[in-house]
Chain A
Amino acid sequence: MTISLVFLAVLMLVFGGWLFSHSINVRPWEAQSEATPAEGITNRASHLPLYFTAARVGLVVFLAVVTAVFALTISAYLMRMEMGPDWRPLPTPGLLWLNTASLVLGSVALQRAWAAAKKGNDQVLRRCLMLGGGLTIAFILGQGVVWWQLHDAGYYLAGNPANAFFFLMTALHALHLLGGLVAWGRTLRKVQRGASAVEVRASVELCALYWHFLLLVWAILFALVLST
């Protein structure tokens, strides 16, 4: 559980620190002094900065939840590894590297799509958006092929906890990507129907951030599988 606790501790430290800065020296029970009656109204200091729109904050909160899911899975992975004598690491098919490359490129493409949306460049936006989604679909299909290869080589899901965890983690990760692809599909449809870059900018941005996050999660999962 160490991993989960570290994650929680970091999260709570940030949250607590932010809260502390907004509650220390605040005396809500004191009546507003007459000289500055308006201050209480105009002082939006304790509201989040403008950069944080509702959608962005929503995404960040959701990413915290997803991080909790993966942190706990990794915790379980490490604990189970210690607990049973039956843990036999499985080989890492070379295809995983190729898949990783395609996910990295997908993330880069979406980043470029976001930049294009900011500049209002409809052409580049559309091309990069499609490329990003396509590479992600390639990644998911590639993961499927890896599953098939492992299964073919006798590394069955039920055969060994290491296999089971590998299948579970890749499945969880792919499911999250599929969820992202739904959002991506809706954005792409808007673009195809002629929505301008400005209109879809917010959606593209959320997609890009989500993709970067899932790329990071994949990097951690992959490193975990490689190192154990």
Chain B
Amino acid sequence: MPLIGVPHKRVEDPRLITGRGRYTDDVRLPGMLHAAILRSPRAHARIEAIDVAAARSAAGVVAVYTGRDIAGKVGPIPTAWLPPDSDIKATAHPALATDTVRYAGDGVALVVAESAAAARDALDLIRVSYEPLPAVVEQADAMREGAPLVHADAPGNIAFHWKAGQVSDAVFSGAEVVVRHTFRQQRLIPNPMEPRAAVAQYDRATGDLTLWATSQNPHIHRVLLSGVLGIPEHRLRVVSVDVGGGFGAKIACYPDEALTAFAAMSLGRPVKWTETRTEHFLATTHGRDMVIDVELAGRREGTLEAIRVRNIANMGAYLSTAAPGVPTILFGLIVTGAYTFEHAAVDVYGIFTNTTPTDAYRGAGRPEATYLVERMVDLFAREIGMDPIEVRRKNLVRPEAFPYPSALGLSYDSGNYQRALEQALATVDYLGLRREQAALRGHGRYIGIGCSSYVEISGLGPSEVAGAVGFQGGLWESANIRVHPSGKVTVFTGGSPHGQGEETTFAQIVADRFGIPIADVEVVHGDTARIAMGWGTYGSRTTAVGGSAIAVAADRVIDKGRKIAAHMLEAAEDDVEFAQGTYQVRGAPERSETFQAVTLQAYLAWNLPEGLEPSLEAAAYYNPSNFTFPFGTHVAVVEVDPETGDVKLLRYVAVDDCGTVINPMIAEGQVHGGIVQGIGQALWEGAIYSAEGQLLTGSLLDYPMPKARFFPTFETAFTETPAPHNPLGAKGIGETGTIAATPAIINAVVDALQPFGVGDLAMPLWPERVLQAIEAGRDGR
């Protein structure tokens, strides 16, 4: 029975929802110590002196370290994405600040104690005298002449300057219609349910260091931390099995995990560090924070011709691990969206400020790009007096155009953008809604309909491209499939799922191919000692790339089994077919052997074909030939309360195409979570700093994370246009919702407020802001 496309319940869930998961903070080792990190309360200051004497002598305290104490022992944390030709100033992040703190939350001292409480108490005993320095928070201010410098060697606070594409001025000067707008992508704070944590255990006898850490990519952490700590890579084991969400914030390598490992090595006892939620807000990477100027040129009859984009991205105080790739490659190459722009150009500045470093956050660059193009299409439609849906219909890449070479050099692999758009419109009854909207306006009620037809780059990605764009790693993925003598299977994947359900999806892929029950397949991930190599989970790559590696390895297992079965059946290998768990001589169903029988023979090796080695196991290292390009259309229907500015979500329809769907229930769950986060940016989320660099939204009391009760039931559906270049046809679904939802909501609210002449609204749409726009519109009339 085929298992691809079956909504099998998640096999990891009984473990996770009954509290039997083993997250990093659950690791308890004999003799374990606890670490706490003192963080700078100031955004920018010179450290004049640190007095740790009282903390060192406090009850239960084992050690206190400052930046000077770890000099030469813990190196700075490097940046691992260096876009070429961008004059990048990859100022590495010292694990503890020695002379200067550059953001509120920058680590200043490390306390290790017998208990977490003693470590926390000791933080209050450390006296640091700071000489305040002027801080700079907004990227525009940081670029101004005479602005305080975050790093002396980055003049103008410019961390990098990257460009792609070209549009001649003539295209714009000669255009029938030019629309210009500036969008603010507010800073977001990722909040996975599990905060970051690390437990380190050092074996002085062997020199082996085991680090349990909340990582989306333990092998990347291993290679980076081996450098930071000066420990040979083969002596370092990173374990990240159960990880409670990451959303990009657990890609980065942080000082804290390195400090925990250092403490374990220097004290010879296991050490645990777990961040508090307050620390998380300050010391774990943030996302977005870009100011984006866009110019769009088009024709009166609705054709989109050219787009020019300038992005000023706030990188925070240091360039986090993958951060430079976000506003450049992951943003810049997809600003043309799903449309046939002939010309496009992107100009990106990465700017240092005295704020928490930014890095990938679910979607990472692609939500920002999609937001601008989807908003611009609506603004353009209004400018030329055309329904925004018509503009989309006119300009979406047509099905026969694939593989489609985009103006920015990508090759969109496959798609039927029109089908997803029309299905979404039919689901909401677009024309009916337009009639209802007109009728309700007569009664002083304002509903709005917003659309977003996105395409994203996912399935990261060909390793050659990774190299060309400065990613300091490969982007292939590994799989190892070991069939045990009884026919049960262990799959080792280099992907590192942390909530996405690949223990189930990957078991489905293998069980489907082998014709065995899903329960016979175990998926192992997130442990560098058990998995040879892997690049981890981010960029919606795990199923498209890691799953494809598994499919290739599974086929290798089947092929070896076929040799054994042919020998057992005394048939030619070419005459043996494998289907539904049985090798069978073509046309002779009575001559067959089960997968299990063949496996057993592989291990017994009593009667193997000549020259064939025993055992049944295969590895694959799958390097994709292209990115994958999921797409779809989301439609939001909202009602705005004209007296309060409150936005109510009436309906939300999502039609997504992520290629072949392995498990529709899990895919739908990913869409739901993505939509929630995308709407979270549109309506509620946003970090606010004071001018002095204090994070004013530094807790869950101030920073509104979306909650289930804020939402209507989502109406989701999939179309399936397989990726043509990987064995599964799968594209990736982890980020689509986040990418599509934000502009759909803003387009809907702006649409609702047409009678008030509202052209744009700054996110998040806190009701007071919406009301102000309504009142301004009323006053204007």
Do A and B share a complex?
Answer: no
Q: List chain B positions with a Cβ less than 8 A from chain A.
A: none
Q: List chain A positions with a Cβ less than 8 A from chain B.
A: none
